[in-house]
Amino acid sequence: MTTGPTQESSPTGIRAIPRILSRILDATEVTVLCSAISLLAIFILLNVFARFFHQSIYFVEELSKFLIILITFVGASYATRRARHIRMGAFLDMMPAWLEKVFVIFISVVSAWVFFVMAFHAWSYMMEVKAMGQTTSALRAPYWIFLVIVPIGFFASGVQCLRTVLKNIVEKEVWLSADQQSEYEELLEGEDA
């Protein structure tokens, strides 16, 4: 019988930092995603009601495009971090744990490389648009501002893949992402409560 908390049940010091950062990042991404989806719905509904009066809110289409870009690339990072991306779950579940770990590491390395290459090209494209001085048609805002999230989202997704690789190298168990050990983890946590 133990009287005090164990190191595994109560992370302290340096071991708690990744967990705290993960919770902050999770809250931030969820807040951005929920806010962007809510704003998108509000803008579209306002524009629909305005059309009943034969009017249109001139900037709604541009803001909607920006919000869709924001949702897509913040969502990509969130999905990668929470292991909610498309994968061959049934195929991996049939493998022995060591082979599953090898496949997860391989897939994560390739995915990270693809994300970083896409981030580089997205950054290059954004800088070209900035150099041309292209503006949006309705708001006359610099168009490159709308594209900033694309390289950031790709880069963040690549970092999440690298975190998955490191987590699988350090830990004995198989981790689908740095924050998600199993796709059934949340279901199991709900049963324990």
- Cβ atoms of residues 126 and 150 within 8 Å: yes
In degrees, rounded to 5, the angle at the alpha carbon of residue 24 between the alpha carbons of residues 185 and 105 is 50
Res. 125: pLDDT tops 90: yes
Least confident of 24-28, 76-80, 88-92, 101-105: 88-92
Q: Enumerate residues 6+ apart whose C-beta is below 8 A from 101.
A: 168, 174
pTM value is 0.78
Res. 162: pLDDT tops 60: yes
Res. 141: pLDDT tops 80: yes
Look at residue 110 in the predicted model and tell me its pLDDT.
95
Report pLDDT digits (tens) over 84-94: 877 777 777 78
Q: Enumerate residues 6+ apart whose C-beta is below 8 A from 48.
A: none
Q: Binning pLDDT at 50, 70 and 90, where does residue 144 land?
A: very high
Look at residue 180 in the predicted model and tell me its pLDDT.
80
Averaged pLDDT, 6-11: 47
Res. 39: pLDDT tops 90: yes
Report pLDDT digits (tens) over 56-65: 888 898 999 9
Look at residue 58 in the predicted model and tell me its pLDDT.
84
Q: Enumerate residues 6+ apart whose C-beta is below 8 A from 64.
A: 40, 43, 44
Q: According to the per-residue pLDDT averaged within each range, which of 28-37, 41-50, 114-123 is highest?
A: 114-123
- Average model confidence (pLDDT) across the chain: 84
Averaged pLDDT, 76-83: 88
